[in-house]
Structure 1
Amino acid sequence: MVLKQRPGPAPLGWSLVLISVFSNAAEQPLALPETTVVGQREPGYKAETVSGFNKTPLSPREVPQSLSVVTRQQMDDQGMVSVPDAMQQVTGVTLIANDTLSYQYLSRGYALGVMYDGVPSYNGMTPSNQFDLPLYERIEVLRGPSGLLQGAGEPGGVVNLVKKRPLDHFAANWALSAGSWDTYRREGDISGPLNDSGSVRGRLVLSSEDRQYFYDRTSSDKWLGMAALAYDLNPQTTLDVSYSTQEQQVQAPWSGLPAYDLVDAKGHYRLLDVSRSTFHAPDWGRLSYDTHEWSASLEHRFDNEWVLKGAFNRREQYQNYKYAYASSGLAPLTDTLRYSSMQGAYNYTREGMDVFLSGPFALLGRTHNLLLGANAEVYNSRGRSGRGVGGSTTFDGLDDLPEPTIAYTSGRESETEQYGLYSRLNISLADPLTLVLGARTTTFSSRTRDVAPSNASDWRDGAEADQQISPYGGVLYELNPNITLYASYTDIFVPQTQLKADGSVLKPREGRQYEVGSKTEWLEGRLGLSLAWFNLRDENRAYADPAYPNDNYYLNAGEVESEGWELEVSGKPAAGLDLSAGYTRLETRYLQARENQGRTYSIQTPKDQLKLWSNYRFDEQSAMAGFSVGLGVLANGATQSSRGWRDELVNSGYAVVNGRIGYQLDKQHSVDLHINNLLDRTYYASVGTPNIYNFYGEPRSFTLTLRGAY
């Protein structure tokens, strides 16, 4: 099989053709209503506001929880092109590869949830292939339980992906990139008013990529597009609509390396010590994602600063795969292993809606803020899969395996629904003191049925929760104009399906977190620094009932603790210097468990993690005028298997240095050279099982990018 090379759109060409359409409208005098345009670029690495966790823009100092923002400038400076690229730079976040395209995202030992422009999407972050970064203006990450706005989910936190919006002025930019392993990218982005008054605005974003990888045999092509419109129905009411699509196809998808099929004196499987380019798989292997998203929002801004907004999001994703993989470790003496093959086709549909009313009110001589809202979402997953007949071969014999005919022997459809009402009240007790109180009630239901190999079966009820309450509380104390101290309690839940001995279903797991910290601003607000300590308890976990050792009955008795602290700095510490840095210290442990009592819970998460990036632009009066340089470090402590092989697969810590050199050719054009893994460190990024999911980190690579902005 040869991967089809899609001719697809030419983003640069399309953008240049459309420049005249936007520029002609932009030349007309504008009579714009007073409108807050979220799509404006926020310069630097320090976000002045966040919106996903309050629904309306707030300073990060007004949010009593740890959060990080990856801004558009940081994405461009570091040459980020995908959501994994951005999440790799977020304080406290651990990435674990599943294959060439998808990742797990962990924070504080647990999976992260996701919101699309503030609309929650259950279980939408890890299993999905996300849109590339040309669509997004910024990425906001809240760490710790986020049940108030999210409903059900793991207690790791939530990612809010904020799309670009149409601008009220003409702007266009493009980028052409070429890099190691025949990687080529093209990007175009154009926006501006579409009528004389500026009440109608548009934006078009296009990108395409074709590439190979540092490991043998794998290649991919991808293209992405977004069209967005904003229409001011009147000076106080704005309608936004957009459509986004992304297609990606991979030939011979990577699923990592096996380990040697023997253990040492410590009981550890030994990882392969081979070239990082080593990967054996038949070229008929394939993996593809086809994603479509429709979104709309209607916002009304009242004269008294209150805001009423409704938003809707529908995302459809189609996944297809067929590949062979090692089903055992590699025998070191014979260089042989066992293999198997699999095939699958899945459809995922997500629909979400969020409506809120927010604004200030006066009481007892002070101004307070109230948020009232409701959201609902439906997630449907339908797929079929099958496995081929396995066998034994040499390691490089995997390359020559004939393509099998695989029947779909199993299939399942699942559907999850949740609905919630939420509220939050910010009470100004005194000039420096604010009390934050909130709560949410959620109704959650799920069901599944078999859809293959025979006709669809009847639906079976799954996890449920009825009017589950998620409380929220916080205190903010402004010590002085530069320093805010805070404390918070946050909560989230995960429904369970295990049964107790009396036949009833276990209560949901609950993630409860206490956090205290400080958020400060220095140098006239150009530099932000935050420090936080947290203690997270995952309670009511399923615990095998010791009174019934031969039956599958459980108690709500299991408990896990995640505790640690974080330090983050972002902004401009000096003229021309942009900085983003974060350090995390994390301990996770089983407090109550039938197995592994007192041991580490999240063995795939490092206890120590450092992320640093700095970029310096030389002064226009210096001899280096026009040049800029960047340098960064990613360092992770030791971890163990990401797939549960405790004490058997161990990965040592590592540190990787990345760099950048840029030059401003003129006011509108620039060129950048990014060098990742500058010192060419050889390391495993994550380890999985004895037969699969052991991933080398990327070797030294180079990417040259030419940009234009108008």
Structure 2
Amino acid sequence: MQYKKASKGESVRRHCALPRLRIVAAMLLMAQAQAGLAQSTDGTDEKADGSAPKLLAPVLVEDEAVGGYVERASVGKVPLTAREIPQSVSVLTRKQMDDQDMVTITEAMRQVTGVNVIANDTVNNQYFVRGYGLGVMYDGVPSYNGMTPSHQLDLAAYERIEVLRGPAGVLRGSGEPGGVVNFVKKRPQDKFGFSWEASAGSWDNYRAAGDVTGPLNQDKTLRGRLVVSNEDRRYFYDHTQSKKWLGLAAFEYDVTPRTTLSLSFVAQDQDVDAPWSGLPASRNPDGNGVYPLLDVPRSTFNAPDWGRMRYQTEETTAGAEHRFDNGWVAKAVVNHRKQNQYYKYAFTSTGVHPVTNLVDYRSFRGDYHYTRDGLDLYASGPFEFLGRTHNFLVGWNTEVYNSKGKFGNGPNFTNIPFGDTSSLIEPTINYASGSESETAQHGLYSQLRLSVADPVTLVLGARTTTFKAKTRNRAPSTPTAWRDGAEADDEITPYGALLFDLNRYVTLYGSYTSIFVPQTQLKADGGTLEPRTGHQYELGSKAEFFDGKLAASLALFNIRDKDRAYADPDRPTDNFYLNAGEIESKGWEAEVSGSPLPGLDLVAGYTRLTTRYLKDRNNQGKDYSIASPKHQFKLWANYRFAPDSDLAGVSVGLGLLAQSKAQSSRGWRDELLNSGYGVVNGRIAYQIDKTYSLSLLVNNLLDRKYYASVGTPSMYNFYGEPRNFLLTLRAQY
């Protein structure tokens, strides 16, 4: 793919995005008119011919909220309340996203209990739970390597985000034990709705979005939804500018009263001028092995302004669901996601010299293309046995991930004064190498929920997975044949849990979950290491109050990540390994979410985490995930004054994000240290009338200066945002 370099203040993307936005805007108006027509012709309980209305089976169960900040989770295929799931799970609802004016996945994940966000560059981040990277599912379909890191869609596309903490091997097959996040896109509704919002914020941050949904025929058997957003913004550091648009179209059709077909397409294009990979640290001035973080203005920008990143994402999802008379449901979902990513920029390759204030740079250029294809088939439902009702789930899924890329290193720039990039003239960089990788896995899974007695539920599950990866060189490198990589055949991951309803409010539970991760290191006999294996034990309690509007949970967990590559002590210079390494991740979590009082919505979560090497040649006894803080606390509360009070229509929100000290996210143990921090955010909103509302969000209310994450002595060290404001006008029809 060829990209034209935009001139100063102009982006190539701008010229192609505006026609698309006009088209989508026209579609929104057409859909609104059609929905209004459908309402006007079907506004009573009887059809125009006087016959009784057609009764349809419910089709929107998964999107029904239990409360403002409480929703059922479908990450386990069957929609369940958090109390019914014997693992730690958090659901970030659409209401909470709007109450906190969230627009990016990073903003959302920062609010989820137990999630640690590590910055990569201006728009890409990594997400860790319990010391490990998160896996990802899109509308319930597993997607390999989708979050580590990968460019994500704007939040305008999503109805909710579900985060399951701990291994999810039964659902996904191979994957790290940290957990999985399920992104659930907005679905068409059977009632007309139209909303839009416009916002303006600090550092020229401008955004507009629209969302229209409703029936597209008289019987409401055909429903549609269209979402569009457009963003043009700068950042608290100098020079960088991002332009992003998104469009989503979704349709559902009831072929019969019990069979529904669905189709959605979403596209996003983001162009970033002068991207940035963070500040360097200071070179070690004392010889003590510690690289001090810089104390400079937070607006400091140390990259050339000719740099550019561009991300294009397209995702198509199709599904079919049939609801049987006996309560069983059969569902098929197929997902195709295509991403193009282009980079050209320079980054610091050394720390800043403490005396001369000089730093070195490297430049590079890359062009990458990713495709992720997934298919998930399952059936679930109740059955009777020994006078009790139980539930069974059986399914099969497959996924294929393909990555193609070409890469070229540009010239190095040495002895550049820190903060002055005027001498970094844009170079011509030719592609020098290329590669392609493909990873495929498929598996059969099942889960049985047995109602042993009125207060006791036994959950048993298992999955068998086949995994295979391969790589090859491709142009501009000399093309080669495929080389086999990591693989596993018929790997079994069992699952078990027991739930005990202490009373009608509280449930106690214990669960066992397992994982496996294929490895590529060689053994002394020439073979490849067997996959990493591991398990998690989790004990906890969950409670629901106020008719399910308030949920609370407490969990203790212990993860053992075993059979890791361990340098062979008998062959210390030959790069041979044994399946002998082991890591432990343990701790506890607590979370409260929902509405404890009329008008009050809140989410609060605390995480205590310890990770360490139990068996390792070089790090035994040391911390494993040094970038993960031992203590993390997150709080958001929003209060709406009563309609009959003097402050009717006013709502106020207050939040806190706090964590203890952490170290480098790139393995620089004891050399890059980040102190703990606490950041307070606030919001005030006013409901002008039934249609319009106005809100003002203030992030970092106390203007705390801190590093949000630290990386290496040369880069990936990012300040948190200074105090900033976002004013948003919303309309809901």
TM interval, shorter chain, is over 0.9
What's the CA shift string for 1:539-598, capped at 9, x where partnerless? 000000000111111111100000000000001111100010000000000000011211
Structure 1 match to 2:78: 56
The CA deviation at 1:127 is 2.1
Equivalences, count: 709
Contact 1:475 1:487 in 2 (8 A): yes
Larger displacement relative to structure 2 (28-37 or 639-648): 28-37
Matching residue of 2:483:
460
> In the TM superposition, what whole-angstrom CA distance separates every residue of 1:287-342 from its partner, at most 9, and x where no partner exists?
01000011100000000000000000000000000001111111122111111100
For 2:418 and 2:66, how far apart are their aligned partners in 1? 50
- For residue 179 of structure 1, the aligned residue among 201, 220, 225 is 201
Amino acid at match of 1:147: G
Match of 1:188 among 206, 210, 223: 210
Whole-angstrom CA distance in 1 between matches of 2:610 and 2:374: 35
Work out whether 1:294 is the aligned partner of 2:319.
no
- The aligned counterpart of 1:27 is 40
Cross-structure match for 1:283: 305
SS at match of 2:175: coil
Report whether the alignment pairs 1:592 with 2:615.
yes
Cα pair distance change 1:187/1:43, threshold 3 Å? farther
- For the pair 1:527 / 2:540, whether they are aligned, the reply is no
Q: Indicate the residue corresponding to 1:618 in structure 2.
A: 641
Q: Secondary structure at the match of 1:220?
A: strand
Match of 2:400 in 1: 378
Paired with 2:684 and 2:27, the residues of 1 have a C-alpha distance of: 29
Tell me, yes or no, if structure 1 residue 449 matches structure 2 residue 462.
no
Q: Deviations over 1:56-87 (max 9, x none)?
A: 21121111000000000000000000111111
* Partner residue of 1:15 out of 9, 23, 28: 28
More deviation, 121-130/423-432: 121-130
Rounded to whole Å, the distance in 2 between the matches of 1:657 and 1:44 is: 25
State the partner residue of 2:678. Answer: 655
- Residues 330 and 336, structure 1, Cα contact 8 Å, conserved in 2: yes
Q: Given residue 27 of structure 1, which amino acid in structure 2 is its aligned partner?
A: S
Is the CA contact (8 Å cut-off) linking 2:232 and 2:243 kept in structure 1?
yes
Counterpart pick for 2:185 among 158, 163, 173: 163
Report the equivalent of 2:430: 407
2:526 aligns to what SS in structure 1? coil
Residue from 357, 366, 378 that aligns with 2:379: 357
Pairwise CA distance, 1:455: 3.6
SS in 1 for 2:421: helix
Contact 1:613 1:631 (8 Å CA) reproduced: yes
**Pair 1:116-2:120 in alignment:** no
Contact 2:70 2:551 (C-alpha < 8 Å) held by counterparts: no
| 1:38 to 1:207, Cα distance in 2 relative to 1, 3 A | farther
**1:365 Cα deviation from its structure 2 partner:** 0.7
Partner in structure 1 of residue 582 of structure 2: 559
**Secondary structure of 1:100 counterpart:** coil
Contact 1:174–1:707 (8 Å) recurs in 2: yes
Q: Secondary structure at the match of 1:624?
A: coil
Task: Tell me if the contact between 1:179 and 1:701 (Cα under 8 Å) persists in the aligned partners.
Answer: yes
- Contact persistence 2:396–2:443 (CA under 8 A): yes
Q: Distance in 2 between matches of 1:376 and 1:22?
A: 37
| Equivalent residues of 2:67, 2:548 under 8 A apart | no
Q: 1:34 deviation in Å? A: 2.4
In structure 2, distance between residues paired with 1:453 and 1:426: 53
1:87 counterpart residue number:
109
Question: 2:205 corresponds to which letter in structure 1?
Answer: T
User: Structure 1 residues 623, 16: CA separation in 2 closer, same or farther (over 3 Å shift)?
Assistant: farther
* Matching residue of 2:451: 428
Which residue is 2:715 aligned to? Answer: 692
Pairwise mapping of residues 444-523 of structure 1 onto structure 2 (< 5 A)?
444-523=467-546
- Measured in 1, the distance between the counterparts of 2:732 and 2:25 equals 12
> What amino acid does structure 2 have at the position aligned with 1:246?
Q
* Segment drifting more, 359-368 vs 38-47: 38-47
Offset at 1:400?
Answer: 3.8
Q: Secondary structure at the match of 1:270?
A: coil
For structure 2, list consecutive stretches of 5 or more residues without a partner in the other structure.
Answer: 1-6, 48-52
Task: Give how far 1:21 is off.
Answer: 2.0
Q: 1:38 to 1:401 in 2, by over 3 A?
A: farther
Letter of the structure 2 residue corresponding to residue 214 of structure 1: F
CA distance in 2, matches of 1:45, 1:581: 14
Q: Determine whether 1:226 maps to 2:248.
A: yes
Query: Aligned letter for 2:635?
Result: L
- Describe the shift of the 1:388–1:650 C-alpha distance in structure 2 as closer, same or farther (beyond 3 A): same
TM-score by length of 2: 0.95
Superposed displacement of residue 52, structure 1: 1.7
* Offset, 1:263: 4.2
Contact 1:71 1:137 in 2 (8 A): yes
What is aligned with 1:272? Answer: 294
**Contact 2:280/2:717 (CA < 8 Å) preserved in 1?**
yes
Query: CA deviation digits over 1:525-544, x for unaligned, max 9?
Result: 22111000000011000000
Q: Deviations over 1:620-660 (max 9, x none)?
A: 11111110000000001100000111000000000000000
- TM-score, normalised by the number of residues in structure 1: 0.98
What's the secondary structure of 1:123's corresponding residue? coil
**Correspondence for 2:4:** none
Question: Is the partner of 1:226 in helix, strand or coil?
Answer: strand
Residue 370 of structure 2: aligned partner: 348
Q: Structure 1 residue 193: deviation in Å?
A: 0.4
Q: Secondary structure at the match of 1:558?
A: strand
Counterparts of 2:98 and 2:26, CA distance in 1: 21
Question: What is the distance in 2 between the residues matched to 1:190 and 1:454?
Answer: 48
Q: CA separation in 2, counterparts of 1:399 and 1:432?
A: 70
Give the counterpart letter for 1:576 in structure 2.
Answer: G
Specify the alignment match of 2:282 in structure 1.
260
Q: Distance in 2 between matches of 1:258 and 1:69?
A: 36
Tell me, yes or no, if the aligned pair for 2:118 and 2:665 is still in contact at 8 Å. yes
The alignment partner of 1:271 has SS state of coil
- 1:328 aligned onto 2:350: yes
Match of 1:602 among 610, 622, 625: 625
Structure 1: which amino acid aligns with 2:714?
Answer: N
How far 1:126 moved relative to its partner? 2.2
Q: Could you tell me how far apart the structure 2 residues matched to 1:375 and 1:482 are?
A: 35
Alpha-carbon distance in structure 2 between the residues aligned to 1:259 and 1:496? 34
Between stretches 122-131 and 345-354, larger displacement belongs to: 122-131
Letter in 2 for 1:24: L
Q: Does structure 1 residue 543 correspond to structure 2 residue 566?
A: yes
Instruction: Note the C-alpha offset of 1:41.
Output: 6.1
SS of residue matched to 2:448: strand
Q: After the TM superposition, which of the residue ranges 696-705 and 402-411 deviates more from structure 2?
A: 402-411
Structure-2 separation of matches of 1:349 and 1:27: 43
Q: One-letter code of the match for 1:160?
A: N
8 Å Cα contact 1:41/1:72 also seen in 2:
no
Kept in 2, the 8 Å contact 1:606–1:637? The answer is yes
- Quote how far apart the aligned CAs of 1:280 are: 2.1
**How large is the Cα RMSD of the aligned pairs?**
1.3
* Matched residue, 1:240: 262
Q: Which moved further from structure 2: 350-359 or 277-286?
A: 277-286
Counterpart AA for 2:75: G
Quickly say closer, same or farther: Cα 1:162–1:316, change in 2 above 3 A.
same
Deviations 1:450-487, CA, capped at 9 Å, x for gaps? 11333421100000000000000000000100000000
Alignment-mate amino acid for residue 442 of structure 1? T
Whole-angstrom CA distance in 1 between matches of 2:61 and 2:430: 49
Rounded Cα–Cα distance in structure 2 between residues aligned with 1:672 and 1:48: 24
Q: Is the 8 A contact 1:42 1:73 kept in 2?
A: no
CA drift of 1:511 comes to 2.8
Q: Distance in 1 between matches of 2:615 and 2:258?
A: 54
Distance 1:200 1:15 in 2: 16
1:73 to 82, 85, 95: 95
